Amino acid sequence: MRLFLSLILFFFIFRSNSQQLVLPGDHPDPSVVKIGNEYWGVGTTSNWFPAFPLYHSTDLVNWSAAGHVFTELPAWADYYLWAPEITYDNGKVYLYYTAHKKGGNLCVAAAVADKPEGPYKDLGPLMCQEDGSIDAFSMRDEHGKLYLIWKEDGNSIGKPTPIWAAEMKEDRTALVGEKQELFRADVAWEKGLVEGVSIIKQNDYYYTFYAAAACCGKSCTYGTGIARAKSLLGPWEKYPGNPVLSGNTEWKCPGHGTPVKKDGRYYFLYHAYSANTGAYGGRQGLLNEFEFTSDGWVRFLNGNNYGKVTTPERIVDRFSAKTLSGNWHWSVFQPVQYNIANNTLKLQALPSASGAYIGQSVLTGNYYAEVTVQKNATAQAGLALIGDDRNILYAVVDSNAIRLVQVKKGELQVIAEERIRKPSSVSLRAQVKNNTEVTFTYSADGAPFNVLNNNAADISYLPPWDRAVRVGLVSKGPVEKAAFFKNFILVNDGNSSGENIVRGSN
């Protein structure tokens, strides 16, 4: 009987913590809005560019790429593009977002478009507090007045993190009147930090979904709380049973999302780290249904049967379009110059430690990537595992040599090198196991693959605190030099041992 009860308890706990993945890969702070019969989403890019990828769905489960909000930086901003919130009001699509102001601190700003896929016109900053302002969300009060809600980023300098509200002009170009505090971190599980507020109105209450504690990285402690109020400006009451979402055996640090209604039911789209990929795979988009309870609170149903998610295990880019696909991103600090012709990508070089690079998100802890470097490359051209501009590992073809280079905190170290006769093309492969162990192999003109580094390289140092590892291409050298690539392949195979890959042939 005791065993039976234990099994029942285990089943209940497992079911109560179940959450469904719908946006695999690095998609932090997902926001969603219903426009007509369709759903549009957007996510954080931080220091990857282009900024704020857009997603489109008809069922909240399967999402397709739909471009980006910004393909050029807003004139006032320079980096840290965070927490986009997409909304729809009176026939216009509005996007609220955070960015770092040139010569200043973090600000919340707005952009507008006639349709969700854009183009978006930036409307500029709305609030720039000395400690920083982040995580903007718009909501109308019980009298129809439009308000902006945001977080003061005091935790960045050891101060409190109040959630503020202020009335906003209907054209979203400025705030009016005095700001008013809604609530702040004041219970133990929040660990002195609340943020990522989104709000929904139901019957007599406004309900806030908010995130608390440490958002990101290997030591994150994030969770999701609920608060309610009968007036938008409060007083706000926090649910005594918070956090309503917390980590479990499958997903870690769930939070920062948006509620949305579909077919009379309510869902929350938010992010969490997979227990399998952690910080290396990044914060991935999850869906969870919730309901309003008879006592006026919110209860998550913790289902995982909202529909079948179709995810590509194999991504192949033949460089057949005139522009790079939406899967590719690059550093906001190092804009890339490229050209595509005859199924060949020409990537202009940069002389920095990392070179010019582009990368794609990875979906599993075990994966491999391959690309073919063309003979006419004048720059060091290769395959890379990317953290940021100062942390990257790449294998490059450089004339008659193939070199494996580690860049750690900006310091370069060659960890393997092989001399070869200069072939017409060289195929490079990177096999990653357990998120961190990387083995590079190479093949000249279709010959069998040779191992470049007999001892697997360790990339545990790569991911920045707020982003995930990317796999991609690098072009290093003077700016007048260039690398030429064909046939990029990324296989996200969580079950592959990789043995046949390392020793295979092209």
CATH number of domain containing 469:
2.60.120.200
Asked whether residue 223 falls in the same domain as residue 258, the answer is yes
Q: Which residues of the chain have pLDDT under 70?
A: 1-17, 494-506
Burial level of 139, CB count in 10 A (0-12/13-18/19+)?
Answer: buried
Asked whether residue 377 falls in the same domain as residue 247, the answer is no
Asked whether residue 275 falls in the same domain as residue 417, the answer is no
**Predicted local distance difference test score (pLDDT) of residue 79:** 98
**Predicted local distance difference test score (pLDDT) of residue 373:** 98
**Predicted local distance difference test score (pLDDT) of residue 4:** 32
**Predicted local distance difference test score (pLDDT) of residue 312:** 75
Paired strand residues for 489:
316, 370
Asked whether residue 365 falls in the same domain as residue 412, the answer is yes
Judge whether 5 lies within some domain: no
**pLDDT, tens digit, 9 for 90 and up, residues 226-241:** 999 999 999 999 999 9
* Dihedral sign from CA coordinates of 452, 455, 459, 461: negative
Asked whether residue 182 falls in the same domain as residue 270, the answer is yes
**Predicted local distance difference test score (pLDDT) of residue 17:** 54
* pTM of the entire predicted model: 0.93
Judge whether 93 lies within some domain: yes
Q: In Å, how far are 109, 328, 460, 468 from 48, measured between CA atoms?
A: 18, 10, 20, 10
Judge whether 132 lies within some domain: yes
Domain count across the chain? 2
Which domain range does residue 282 map to?
20-300
Domain boundary among 300, 333, 351: 300
Asked whether residue 348 falls in the same domain as residue 326, the answer is yes
What percent of the chain has a predicted confidence (pLDDT) above 70?
Answer: 94
Asked whether residue 275 falls in the same domain as residue 359, the answer is no
Cβ pair 471, 450 in contact under 8 A: no
Domain boundary among 276, 300, 324: 300
Through-space distance between the first and last CA atoms of the chain, rounded to whole angstroms? 58
CATH number of domain containing 172:
2.115.10.20
Which of 262, 146, 274, 254 minimizes the C-alpha distance to 210? Answer: 254
Average pLDDT taken over every residue of the chain:
93
Asked whether residue 404 falls in the same domain as residue 448, the answer is yes
Phi, psi at residue 60, to the nearest 5°? 70, -5
Which of 440, 383, 393, 447 minimizes the C-alpha distance to 420? Answer: 447
